[in-house]
Amino acid sequence: MRITDVQTFVVGNPPPHFGGRYWVFVKLTTDHAISGWGEAYSIPFHPHIAAQMIEDVCQRYVIGQDPFKIERLWRVIYSSGYTQHPDLSLMGVLSAIEMACWDIVGKELNRPVYELLGGQVHERLRTYTYLYPEPSDQTDVYMDPDLAATRAVAYVKQGFTAVKFDPAGAYSAFDPRQLSLEALTRSEKFVKTVRQAVGDSCDLLFGTHGQLTTSSAVRLARRLERYDPLWFEEPVPPENMEEMAKVARATSIPIATGERLTTKYEFARLLKLGAASILQMALGRVGGILEAKKIAGMAEAHYAQIAPHMYCGPIAGAADIQLSTCSPNFLIQESIQTWGGFHAQLLKTPIRWEEGYILPPTGPGLGVELDEEVAAQHPYSGKLLHLEMQDRPL
């Protein structure tokens, strides 16, 4: 079998844009008339440039290759241009290509990818969601503790047993910063109010985006410990794992991180330093499915768990599900609400979510197929990137 063709799709995500402004997909086709899908997560260039990057790499390294030789192909692309170093852009490209190869392999063998990576461990996957805003909101759900509590209760009634929120404030290119007393108090009140509303029926996941200095993160963690959050996410920027380890040693709250890290090499350092016990690899960035499985194995040896990141489109989300299903140390899977809306519209067969859990697909490969007609009807024509940081100090 040989890969004979590559196509890319840049799809605009309609309002309310949950999951990002757009998604970049790749379709690889073989001489056996089997196609596989992949998705690149948040390459820090305009998505049409990202699509050209994928096509460039495929023309040089992928066309004509055997999709079963994933390990060999991974090393060749990872070393492109004399790199051999974790790089967010190249790793996003590589992740999409690798993901599509696994989809092809699973379809050729008529097996889900998880059956090729050790087999199914979990019959269903526990999920969490952010507390997302609604069109009728009169206030900001991330700044209004009472509205957040109401929203959390509603999600619990749907079946969720965990919700995530980030009340610490916006994130900036000039972070990390020391939170003000007002921000510390607001965050504490937020968690307290939500905890009182849901009781012990729901885990609370305190999300941040690297906004805090080490000392500020420790100050905030001490305020939050009494409410027993399941995790404190990326409290400091991911560039300095030694400082994140200091936060981990200073609090009883588990530290979660990983969405801005790539490859087993960065995660190995994270584990060695004891900087986090919950790993949130983004499969459209980390290096793909096999790389994430290797990271999950390293985490297992450190008694760390995985909670794959999912603020993306449904193809990378489907890859998350394949990894989570076959990983013994799976903790919880991020969802964007209940996998409905545009995520469902883009797939010929939507991902099954029932009462707080994903039911892993039984079809071959990733178990999903992108609807190309729907994708073509939603081109992205904007100028902004998938996510943007504030361009001034806060």
Annotated catalytic residues are: 209, 309
- Distance, in Å, from the CA atom of 58 to the CA atom of 70, rounded to the nearest integer, reads 13
3-state secondary structure the chain: CCEEEEEEEEEECCCCCCCCCEEEEEEEEECCCCEEEEEECCCCCCHHHHHHHHHHHHHHHHCCCCCCCHHHHHHHHHCCCCCCCCCHHHHHHHHHHHHHHHHHHHHHHCCEHHHHCCCCCCCCEEEEEECCCCCCCCCCCCCCHHHHHHHHHHHHHHCCCEEEECCCCCCECCCCECCCHHHHHHHHHHHHHHHHHHHHHCEEEEECCCCECHHHHHHHHHHHHHHCCCEEECCCCCCCHHHHHHHHHHCCCCEEECCCCCHHHHHHHHHHHCCCCEECCCCCCCCCHHHHHHHHHHHHHCCCEECCCCCCCHHHHHHHHHHHHCCCCECCEEECCCCCHHHHHCECCCCEEECCEEECCCCCECCCCECHHHHHCCECCCCCCCCCCECCCC
- CA nearest neighbour of 288 among 7, 41, 5, 67: 41
Taken as a whole, the chain contains a residue count of 394
- Distance, in Å, from the CA atom of 21 to the CA atom of 385, rounded to the nearest integer, reads 7
- Distance, in Å, from the CA atom of 59 to the CA atom of 126, rounded to the nearest integer, reads 39
User: Number of C-alpha atoms within 13 angstroms, CB side, residue 133?
Assistant: 15
Residue type, 353: W
Burial 45-84 (b: 16+ CB within 10 A, else e): ebbeebbebbbebbeebbeebebeebeebbebbbebeeee
